[in-house]
Amino acid sequence: MTDIILCGKAEDHALSEILIPSLSRYGGVRFSSRDQIRQFGPESPAFLVWDCEQIPEVALESGVLVFKNSYRPLTSIQVPPEFLCVFESHNQYAAAVLKNAGASAAVCGLSARDTLSISSLDYGNAVLSLLRNVQTIRGGLLEPHDFQVQTHSRVSPRHMLVVAMVLLLLGMDSSDGFMIGL
């Protein structure tokens, strides 16, 4: 099971509401938050998504750490070396805390400085551009490329970017594109 930690305010469900159905297409998801534990998909889920306000003490070999825009650090953090981090480019709190921790991250946004950006956007369809090399959670190397994304629901471009980046870091094949959202 692959671990994904979402960090940000407990009442901020916008990202998890897009991430969970998107991940469910690639294997079941067990979701845990402060007040609920739920499972989506098969009995043996491929992913554990844990929603928390602060980064917990992590004693796991690898995973993905996703910062919601509602994340506000209370203390300095330590990011396990094998965890891959993702945040939106305008999330200055995540950028600062990761810089202080000496951790690198995949940044999602609309500029050429970001790791993942939008090349074109239309109703329900987008072409995203991976602008630099990234290493997947299994150690594979993804080189810059464009890929398609379809959405079934009203998904904001910024959430679409973060979820697509998580799928890429998990090693999902983007050659046929991704379906994001419900």
Band the pLDDT of 78: cuts 50, 70, 90: confident
Residue 91 has pLDDT above 90, yes or no: yes
Residue-level pLDDT at 56: 85
For residues 96-115, average pLDDT? 91
What is the model's pLDDT at position 116? 98
Mean pLDDT of the chain: 92
In three-state form (DSSP H/G/I as H, E/B as E, the rest C), the secondary structure along 128-165 is: EEECCCEECCCCCEECCEEEEEEECCCCCHHHHHHHHH
Least confident of 34-43, 111-120, 163-172: 34-43
Residue with tokens 């998504």: 49
What letter would DSSP give residue 42? Answer: S
Rounded mean pLDDT, 57-81: 88
Q: Which residue segment(s) compose the domain that 149 sits in? A: 2-180
- Segment 23-59, tens digit of pLDDT: 999 999 999 998 899 999 878 899 999 999 998 888 8
Q: Number of folded domains in the chain?
A: 1
Residue 18 confidence (pLDDT) = 94
| pLDDT at residue number 100 | 85
CATH of the domain at 158: 3.40.1190.10
